[in-house]
Every structure is written in structure tokens, then in C-alpha cells.
Amino acid sequence: MVSPILTVDVEDWFHVCGHPLYSDPATWAGREKRVHAGVESILALLDGTGSRATFFVLGWIARQSPALVRRIADAGYEIGCHGDVHRRVFEMTLPEFREDVRKSRGTLQDITGSPVTSFRAPEWSMLRAGNPAFAVLVEEGFTLDSSLTTAPPVGEPSNPTRPVMLETASGPILEVPPLMGTFFGFRAMWGGGVCARLTRESRVGAAIDRSLAAGIPPVLYAHPWEFDDAHPAMPGLSPVQRLVHFSGRTRTEGRWARFLKRWTFAPISSARAA
Ligand SMILES: [Zn+2]
């Protein structure tokens, strides 16, 4: 019997990939920090439900707010790694990627005192199952990844849609992909993100049930900024970026609240037993 899986990518509202105004870490010190508010909303939502979750935390966030990471771990949730400064994998050389994941994993492990073995790439940027960066993850101590989707341009249609062991030059790693569906006939993520938010809740709910019936753990995801009532305005985003970030954003909290009444969620490590 598989469980539905709940995940949170712990980043702040300004952690937008590939944007001249937002993605440079040198600009982050002057930004209003809001991640705590969103994380507290999520923890409050989960509290008392019996559900568990995995929080994939940026190394940068962990260095800014080690107490936030401790708070999540002490509340009984799993800590995973979301990279160090939210750079997409394909923007880095392999040595740079190694440095990024080594630094972020080390930061998180120093704070929690526990091994961090699960990884999610910023913006699903592992892209394909044959990416040599998977071997780097194995060499750096990761045994599980949740970064492959089948929706172009952030994934390839041949990528897995259920947990599968990927063989790399350095050994195996378990890939646990997010729940997929369609949006206006195209492959789209239903585990979270703009297409999920703009899809009727009943359709996403039915997809979760179908996935469970098929023995495939449906993986849901969200970000703390989707749970923040005081999200700052973001001048300078392109129309598409604005749509991806803001459209249906405030639906996430109510939807998760109702889903948490309907199912008991597990952390991503539960897929190891599936
Ligand atoms: Zn992210």
C-alpha cells in the first residue's frame, strides 16, 4: 500500500531562476525575508493531521535561518536538499554542481545532525534521466532524487512517471517524480505549480486516487510563498513568469487543507519501500 507524498521546496519569494532582477544572490540581502511566514502556515496546516512531509531546503536559506530548519526537523518532518543558491543544474558545470550540492547538504546536515539523502533540483532542472549530474548526486551521498518531470521544457516525455531506480556511472539513485496530468491537452504537472493550481481540485483529487490505486505514490509539492498572505509585489517579471508565480497562488492553502483531511501524506522517503 503506497501513501501520497507531500513535499515543500523551501525558498523565498524572490528565488526565481534565470531572472536578471531576482536570481543573483548578491541582491538577496536587501530583500524582505518572508519564508518564515509561509513555513509557519504550512506547519500549522499539517499540525494534528497525522501527515508527514519532506521539506527540500535551500542551503542559502539554512545559513540565513538555521532555526527554521531545526524547527521543521524538530516538528518531525524530513529535511531534503534543494541546492544551495537556487541555480538550475544546466547553468552549472558538473564541478560547480558538485560544489553547490556539497555545500548545501553540508549546511543542512550540520544543522540537523542527520544525513540528508534526498534532492530536488531548482525548477526541475535535472531535465532527463541520463543527466550525468545524477552520478554526482550519488557520489555526494544522495540516494533519492525528485526532479524529473515529463512536461517540456523542464522535462522529457521519456522521463519516468513512477518511482524508478536510475543507474548512474557511480551507482543507483531512486527517482521519485511528481504527479503528472494534462493542461489543455499538454503534459503538465498536477503535483503542484501553476497548471495544478488552475486545474479543478476534483480532477487533481481523482488523479491522486488513480495513482494510489495503481500503486504509484502521487507526489505533491508547493512553496512557502504560496501560503503567504503578504507576498510582496514582483516588478520586472515577464508575463509568463508572472503567470507561473502568481496565477491561482492563493488556492494552494485551501486545497492542501482539504487534501490533508482526505488523505494521510508521507515524506518522500516512504517511496523507498514502495
Ligand atoms: Zn525552487
Per-residue pLDDT tens digits for 42-66: 999 999 999 999 999 999 999 999 9
- Quick one: pLDDT at residue 194? 94
How close is the Cα of 189 to the center of ligand 1, in Å?
A: 15
Q: What is the DSSP string of 128-171?
A: STT-THHHHHHHTT--EE----SSTTTS-TTS-SS-EEEEETTE
How close is the Cα of 85 to the center of ligand 1, in Å?
A: 10
For residues 225 and 12, the answer to whether their CB atoms sit within 8 Å is yes
How close is the Cα of 63 to the center of ligand 1, in Å?
A: 16
- End-to-end Cα spacing for the chain: 8
How close is the Cα of 188 to the center of ligand 1, in Å?
A: 17
Torsional sign, CA 64, 114, 267, 118: positive
For residues 18-34, give the mean pLDDT.
Answer: 94
- Quick one: pLDDT at residue 103? 98
Question: Pick from 46, 29, 32: which is nearest to 261 by CA?
Answer: 46
How close is the Cα of 91 to the center of ligand 1, in Å?
A: 14
* % of the chain beyond a pLDDT of 90: 97
- Quick one: pLDDT at residue 38? 98
- Distance CA(38)–CA(83), nearest Å, equals 19
pLDDT at 1 over 90: no
For residues 168-187, give the mean pLDDT.
Answer: 96
**Which residues are within 5 Å of ligand 1 (an ion), measured at CB?**
9, 11, 122
How close is the Cα of 223 to the center of ligand 1, in Å?
A: 8
How close is the Cα of 5 to the center of ligand 1, in Å?
A: 17
From residue 176, alpha-carbon distances to 42, 250, 260 in Å are 22, 26, 21
pLDDT at 274 over 80: no
Per-domain residue ranges of the chain: 5-273
pLDDT at 72 over 70: yes
* Angle between the N-to-C axes of helices 66-74 and 35-46, in degrees from 0 to 180, rounded to the nearest 10: 0
Options 3.20.20.370, 3.40.50.2300, 3.20.20.70, 3.40.50.720; CATH of 5-273: 3.20.20.370
For residues 125 and 92, the answer to whether their CB atoms sit within 8 Å is no
- Distance CA(19)–CA(271), nearest Å, equals 34
- Quick one: pLDDT at residue 234? 94
- Distance CA(203)–CA(22), nearest Å, equals 34
Query: Binning pLDDT at 50, 70 and 90, where does residue 273 land?
Result: confident
Looking at the DSSP bridge assignments, the partners of residue 188 are 181
For residues 203-211, give the mean pLDDT.
Answer: 97
* % of the chain beyond a pLDDT of 70: 100
How close is the Cα of 245 to the center of ligand 1, in Å?
A: 11
- Quick one: pLDDT at residue 272? 93
How close is the Cα of 64 to the center of ligand 1, in Å?
A: 16
For residues 226-233, give the mean pLDDT.
Answer: 94
For residues 237 and 194, the answer to whether their CB atoms sit within 8 Å is no
How close is the Cα of 201 to the center of ligand 1, in Å?
A: 23
Cα 55 versus chain centre, distance:
8
pLDDT tens per residue, range 88-141: 999 999 999 999 999 999 999 999 999 999 999 999 999 999 999 999 999 999
For residues 39 and 68, the answer to whether their CB atoms sit within 8 Å is yes
How close is the Cα of 82 to the center of ligand 1, in Å?
A: 7
For residues 234-252, give the mean pLDDT.
Answer: 93
Question: Pick from 5, 30, 4: which is nearest to 14 by CA?
Answer: 30
Tell me which residue has cell 483529487: 205
- Quick one: pLDDT at residue 265? 98
Buried/exposed code over 184-203 (b: 16+ C-beta within 10 A; e: otherwise) = eeebbbbbbbbbbbebeeee
- Considering the chain, what is the average pLDDT of its residues? 96
From residue 256, alpha-carbon distances to 70, 222, 237 in Å are 23, 9, 27
